[in-house]
Amino acid sequence: VAMFADGEWKTYPDWESCRILHTGPDFCEFEIVYPAFSAAGRMTYHITLKRGERFFRNDVSFERMPPNFLAGPGIDLEPKRDHHGDLVEADGLVSLFEDPKGKDGVDGSTMEAVFVAPGEKVEMMTDHMNCRVLAFKGRKTFTYWAGASWSLAGEVTTSADWHRIVNEYRKGNTK
């Protein structure tokens, strides 16, 4: 999650505390707290990981949130990091299936996505390093989902499959 402050996107410094909320056979939940570094104050992440699901839920809250501040998750597309491939940007969704890496693609493709529930009000923004950010304006709390995969795991091997999986999950599991 990045915060738009002083004319640029900034990420919070390293976390200051964490705690496990639940561990069990079907899911786990934990919380990570980041120190204050802007007018929004401390940021708390509540993360839920469900067994067998490719995407995980992130509930983010801030101590306070000025009305015009922007904050949100994104995907790093900085050119020097070689994150190129089939990018899908839709209302409340950023999904990337990266071009294969290594000589002749021997290292496979990675894929990642961040998204919000359909109909959630969010603004798509691009930062100075070409990251795509799903920005919430003046929101003290918000929820988003994130996930990733790797083509050599054998489960998802094409960009069409990845983007279909992302959209199906988003439509059926973000209520």
Residue 20 pairs in a beta bridge with 30
Amino acid found at 86: D
Q: pLDDT by residue (tens digit) across 130-167?
A: 778 899 999 999 999 999 999 999 999 999 999 999 99
Token pair of 149, please?
A: 């995969």
How far is residue 133's CA from residue 125's CA, in Å, rounded to a whole number? 5
Distances from the Cα of 82 to the Cα of 4, 62, 85, angstroms: 24, 32, 9
Is the pLDDT confidence value at 41 over 80?
Answer: yes
The rounded percent of the chain whose pLDDT value lies above 70 is 98
pTM for this model (two decimals):
0.90
Q: pLDDT by residue (tens digit) across 73-94?
A: 988 887 777 777 889 998 899 9
